[in-house]
Structure 1
Amino acid sequence: MLVLTRKTNESIQIGDEIEITVLSVQGDQIKLGIKAPKNVEIHRKEVYLSIQESNNEAASTSVNILDLIRNKSFDLE
């Protein structure tokens, strides 16, 4: 992990397109501003993990349904 020290209104650059700026520091909270292309998704870590978990559950459910369909014989008459 890279650890950087920044003061208010100082930034870090990630690649050519992402800039993170420290907007303010109040107690144990830091406000960050992030400039990135619209196609880059930005989430808080806990939200990202929740989305990943939901996606994994949905993918698992889809596979289970497909398995049931494949193993079921349908009488079309």
Structure 2
Amino acid sequence: MLVLSRKKGESIVIQDHIEVTVLAVEGDTVRIGISAPKHIDIFRQEIYTAIQEANRESVTPLAANIDAFMERLRKTENKKD
């Protein structure tokens, strides 16, 4: 992890296209602004984690359905023999 010190109004640039600017510092809270191309998704970490979990949950039933389908297919093939 890269650790940088920035003051209000100062920025960092990531790969020429993303700029992160410190907008305000109030106690333990830092407000930042992020400028990035529209095709780059930016999420708070807790939202990103929730999206990833929802994606995993949506795949689980599919995997179970595929397993059940493959088992039925094997049984059908065995009946033919």
TM-score range, shorter chain: 0.7 to 0.9
Stretch deviating more after TM superposition (27-36 or 53-62): 53-62
State the match for 1:43 in structure 2: 43
SS in 2 for 1:49: helix
For residue 36 of structure 2, what is the amino acid of its counterpart?
A
- TM-score, length-scaled by structure 2: 0.82
RMSD: 1.3
Unaligned runs of 5+ residues in structure 2 are 74-81
Unaligned runs of 5+ residues in structure 1 are none
Count of residue pairs the alignment pairs up: 73
Structure 1 distance, partners of 2:34, 2:56, is 28
Structure 1 distance, partners of 2:17, 2:61, is 37
- TM-score, length-scaled by structure 1: 0.86
Which structure has the larger Rg?
2
Structure whose residues are more often helix by fraction: 2
Structure 2 distance, partners of 1:61, 1:37, is 35
SS in 2 for 1:33: strand
